[in-house]
Homo-oligomer: A and B are copies of this chain.
Amino acid sequence: MNSTLTPLTFLARSAQVYRDRVAVVDGGRRFTYAEMEARCHRLASALRALGATAGDRIAVLAPNTPMALEVHWGVPLMGGVLVMLNYRLQAPELAWIVNHCGAKVLLADPQYRDMMEEVRGDMPLVEHIISDHEAFLETGSAPLPDPHQPNEDDLFTINYTSGTTGFPKGVMFTHRGAYLNALGEGLEHGLTNETIYLWTLPLFHCNGWCFPWAVTAVGGTHVLLRQVDGQRIEELIEGEAVTHLCGAPVVINTIAQHFATRGKSLPRFLKMVTAGAPPSPAVIRAASEIGADVAHVYGLTETYGPMTICAWRAEWNSGTLEQRAVWKARQGVGYVIAGTDVAVFDPDMRSVPADGATLGEVCMRGNNVMLGYYNNPAATAEAFRGGWFHSGDLAVLHPDGYIELRDRAKDIVISGGENISSIEVEKAIMDHPAVLEAAVVAAPDAKWGEVPAAFVGLKPGMSVTAEELAAFCRERIAHFKCPKRIEFGPLPKTATGKTRKNELRERLWQGHEKRIH
């Protein structure tokens, strides 16, 4: 007897069976599950009162506030499609995304209000920009008289990713996919009604890897955090008895270093889930020394966030730290809910041998994989050629069935957990009148893992300094995307005239730890 697979049921259940338990901690404010549900219903009601109807895209720009969490139910409860925006982007980039998804309503945290008002003229479809969340909730009522009843295959959220091309692509999640992935996170990380989850990961990031729904499903507690700050994180871990958090290795390291330099250990068990790059031995050592457990997962926005996990094996506990770091650095095995839908394929889409040596492309399919790119059938078809999603990541398959990435999708720079399309950065550089050609690749960085580095060939007789070019870029793209190193000179080319990016990368990574992720 089927019922619809949708994360909407998670909040409804927790509001029913855990009415009086704390759902949300936001500084001094606490909401029970009953209150959280009422707020989400009021939000849905308020959106309807604005004129929003089922199928409308609702864009959201906010740090990890109650609003950023509540939209994960408030929007779908009235049938809307949630579009979380990356607050690290510049206003023109945000306007591009808002236009592409066709949002009529933009919910913007007050700190972004002015910035978005400035580009309002570039967003002709936007009818409302709402920035006072509490006042907006007051315009709605709870319970919502007739919550939207979705089909499980309906479009649920869109997450824009820079992907491997210069223009963002809107990754479409369905109710069913989000439901199953939330269960998957719960199962892989042992979430229970005693889970206290600290929001070190941005909620806009791939819908927080589905953790808004996963933590709510089990009746755990969301502890909100607006920015990664060691002191504040320490206070919350100790004061709220945090059990789980997620973040890029740089976040894990920040927390571990903060505790270590104060000679402190964690007050109790804490699981830190990390992705974006494999945790280095130093990170694993630092985390284990303060008493934390690090889980290494891997995925893309297109796979609703994590899809594989380096499932730990008891027999590995006896290894040295270095051995354990080598094992932990593997991307591992498909989630239980991923089944056998993670593969490493040769160019003919045949599985590579499980020899730990033969490179192939990581391909995925199934319930862990997006519906497609919003209004972009060409990119969708390209991504799903042969019936599998092509990650662009190259990996080996070990004899024990674990995958390990050996080279990243070649044109992506991952800086502090954020994807940066090198092509997009190149485009910004190329806009400068003195530039002839440009190649952007990842350079190693002690703090961010990677930063973009640019190799630039100038037009004959023209000149520009690195400082001038960097400033030029900062006017066009988000600061974190701008090249942190710029070198001038002719680019190395292949026989067919393509830039040899591998050669540039090798130049930058020489003497550094082998680049595996």
A residues neighboring B (CB under 8 Å): 1-3, 5, 9-10, 12-13, 16-20, 153, 176-177, 183, 186-187, 190-194, 217-219, 311, 313-314, 333-334, 336-341, 365-367, 369-372, 384, 389, 400-402
In the bound assembly, the distance between CA atoms of A512 and B236 in angstroms comes to 50
Q: Is the beta-carbon distance between B1 and A311 smaller than 8 angstroms?
A: no
Contact partners of A193 in chain B: CB under 8 A: 311, 313
Given contacts A1-B369, A2-B176, A341-B3, contact A183 B336 (CB under 8 A): yes
Contact partners of A2 in chain B: CB under 8 A: 153, 176, 366-367
Look across to chain B and name the residue whose beta carbon is closest to the beta carbon of A241: B314
In the bound assembly, the distance between CA atoms of A340 and B12 in angstroms comes to 7
Closest 8 A/B residue pairs (Cβ): A3-B366, A9-B339, A17-B333, A17-B401, A1-B369, A12-B340, A13-B339, A217-B336
Q: Is the beta-carbon distance between B186 and A1 smaller than 8 angstroms?
A: no
In the complex, what's the smallest C-beta–C-beta distance from A292 to chain B, in angstroms?
Answer: 18
Contact partners of A372 in chain B: CB under 8 A: 1
In the bound assembly, the distance between CA atoms of A217 and B337 in angstroms comes to 9
9 CB contacts below 8 A, A to B, read A3-B366, A3-B367, A13-B333, A13-B340, A18-B333, A183-B336, A183-B337, A187-B187, A187-B191
How many copies of the polypeptide does the oligomer hold? 2
In the bound assembly, the distance between CA atoms of A455 and B174 in angstroms comes to 58
Contact partners of A338 in chain B: CB under 8 A: 13
Beyond the given pairs A13-B334, A186-B187, 11 more chain A to chain B contacts, judged by CB atoms under 8 angstroms and listed by A's residue number, are: A1-B177, A1-B370, A2-B366, A3-B341, A3-B366, A3-B367, A13-B338, A17-B334, A183-B183, A193-B311, A217-B336
Given contacts A2-B176, A339-B9, contact A402 B17 (CB under 8 A): yes
In the bound assembly, the distance between CA atoms of A505 and B227 in angstroms comes to 64
Name the residue among A187, A218, A367 with the largest chain B CB count within 10 angstroms. Answer: A187
Q: Is the beta-carbon distance between A340 and B400 smaller than 8 angstroms?
A: no
In the bound assembly, the distance between CA atoms of A339 and B401 in angstroms comes to 34
Given contacts A313-B193, A334-B17, A339-B9, contact A187 B3 (CB under 8 A): no
In the bound assembly, the distance between CA atoms of A186 and B191 in angstroms comes to 11
Contact partners of A20 in chain B: CB under 8 A: 400
In the bound assembly, the distance between CA atoms of A183 and B180 in angstroms comes to 10
In the bound assembly, the distance between CA atoms of A10 and B333 in angstroms comes to 13
Name the residue among A186, A218, A340, A369 with the largest chain B CB count within 10 angstroms. Answer: A340
Contact partners of A336 in chain B: CB under 8 A: 10, 13, 183, 186, 217-218
Name the residue among A13, A191, A338 with the largest chain B CB count within 10 angstroms. Answer: A13
Contact partners of A187 in chain B: CB under 8 A: 183, 186-187, 191, 218
In the bound assembly, the distance between CA atoms of A225 and B498 in angstroms comes to 65
Contact partners of A389 in chain B: CB under 8 A: 1
In the bound assembly, the distance between CA atoms of A400 and B19 in angstroms comes to 7
> Contact check: which of B10, B153, B191, B401 meets A16 at CB < 8 Å?
B401
In the complex, what's the smallest C-beta–C-beta distance from A496 to chain B, in angstroms?
Answer: 35
Contact partners of A400 in chain B: CB under 8 A: 19-20
Name the residue among A1, A5, A401, A402 with the largest chain B CB count within 10 angstroms. Answer: A1
> Contact check: which of B16, B218, B311, B369 meets A17 at CB < 8 Å?
B311
Look across to chain B and name the residue whose beta carbon is closest to the beta carbon of A338: B13
Q: Is the beta-carbon distance between A339 and B17 smaller than 8 angstroms?
A: no
Q: Is the beta-carbon distance between A340 and B16 smaller than 8 angstroms?
A: yes
In the bound assembly, the distance between CA atoms of A187 and B214 in angstroms comes to 11
In the bound assembly, the distance between CA atoms of A168 and B415 in angstroms comes to 63
Look across to chain B and name the residue whose beta carbon is closest to the beta carbon of A194: B314
Contact partners of A177 in chain B: CB under 8 A: 1
In the bound assembly, the distance between CA atoms of A176 and B2 in angstroms comes to 8
Q: Is the beta-carbon distance between B12 and A339 smaller than 8 angstroms?
A: yes
Contact partners of A192 in chain B: CB under 8 A: 190
Contact partners of A13 in chain B: CB under 8 A: 333-334, 336, 338-340
Look across to chain B and name the residue whose beta carbon is closest to the beta carbon of A313: B193
Given contacts A400-B20, A401-B19, contact A339 B3 (CB under 8 A): yes
Contact partners of A333 in chain B: CB under 8 A: 13, 16-18
In the bound assembly, the distance between CA atoms of A219 and B312 in angstroms comes to 12
Contact partners of A217 in chain B: CB under 8 A: 336
In the complex, what's the smallest C-beta–C-beta distance from A115 to chain B, in angstroms?
Answer: 35
In the complex, what's the smallest C-beta–C-beta distance from A193 to chain B, in angstroms?
Answer: 6
Contact partners of A219 in chain B: CB under 8 A: 311
In the bound assembly, the distance between CA atoms of A400 and B16 in angstroms comes to 8
Name the residue among A17, A183, A367, A371 with the largest chain B CB count within 10 angstroms. Answer: A17
Contact partners of A9 in chain B: CB under 8 A: 339-340
Look across to chain B and name the residue whose beta carbon is closest to the beta carbon of A1: B369
Contact partners of A402 in chain B: CB under 8 A: 17
Contact partners of A19 in chain B: CB under 8 A: 400-401
In the bound assembly, the distance between CA atoms of A360 and B500 in angstroms comes to 73
Contact partners of A176 in chain B: CB under 8 A: 2
> Contact check: which of B3, B18, B191 meets A401 at CB < 8 Å?
B18
